[in-house]
Amino acid sequence: MIISFEGIDGSGKSTQAKKLMARLSPTTDEILYVREPGGTDVSERVRSLLLDPALHIFPFAEMLLFSAARSQLVEEKIKPVHSRGGIVICDRFFDSTVAYQGGGRGVAESGWLEAFQRTVTAGVWPDRTYLVDVSVTVATDRLTARLGDNASPDRMEQAGASFFERVRQTYLDLAARDKGRYCVIDGSKSEDEVEAAIWSDLQTLLP
């Protein structure tokens, strides 16, 4: 089973992905947690490029870099665990490219990007995608509190409110189109309430 977590920066999706990992680990023979971009030596090097605020990366090149990191992660880590019947928890997967580079950057329409990502992931697809949804205002407030006074946002976090509005709307459009895979969770609630909502839904899928 592959479970992915999606949402704009500051939504709380990473927190929930890690909570689910901790909850499932004692009861599962094989489980893998991965974050995107990253998770392999190659992918982590690509991550450092993508998040470097000093670099100017053109949108289509950005999409290809994210996709390259994802392809490496799928082949090196995700596919082996998935083929053995294990559980993979992804903190972001291909939907992030459709939302961020498609909706946010406007590099291509969603259908083209989704088709391209099927090639990138060699057909590997999540069984369930949790969209932890919050308003851009809530996300921005959380990011500001997290960064504090001494840290600066990374290259993606610097994109601005209008960018994240487009990304959020693309996520909601994706969820509306694929209700069988997506589960939209109100991320403005407390961490415990969000965790409970995710766990309740997952009970319908776990063997």
Query: Which letter does DSSP use for residue 27 in this model?
Result: G
Q: Is 84 within the bounds of a domain?
A: yes
Q: Is 162 within the bounds of a domain?
A: yes
Q: Which domain holds residue 44?
A: 2-202
Q: Is 207 within the bounds of a domain?
A: no
Q: Is 93 within the bounds of a domain?
A: yes
Look up the CATH number of the domain holding residue 41. Answer: 3.40.50.300
Name the strand (E) or helix (H) holding 170.
helix 161-177
Rounded CA separation 95/74 (Å):
14
Rounded CA separation 118/94 (Å):
9
Number of domains in the chain: 1
- For residue 182, how many C-alpha atoms fall within 13 Å in the half-sphere facing its CB? 18
Report pLDDT for 158: 86
Query: What is the biggest distance separating any 2 CA atoms in the chain, rounded to whole angstroms?
Result: 47
Question: Whole-prediction pTM value?
Answer: 0.94
Q: Read off the pLDDT of residues 92-129 as tens digits, 9 standing for 90 and up.
A: 999 999 999 999 999 999 999 999 999 999 999 999 99
Cis peptide before 37 (omega within 30 of 0): yes
Rounded CA separation 140/79 (Å):
35
Q: Is 44 within the bounds of a domain?
A: yes
**pLDDT over threshold 80, residue 148:** no
The token duo for 47 is 């991550």
Q: Is 26 within the bounds of a domain?
A: yes
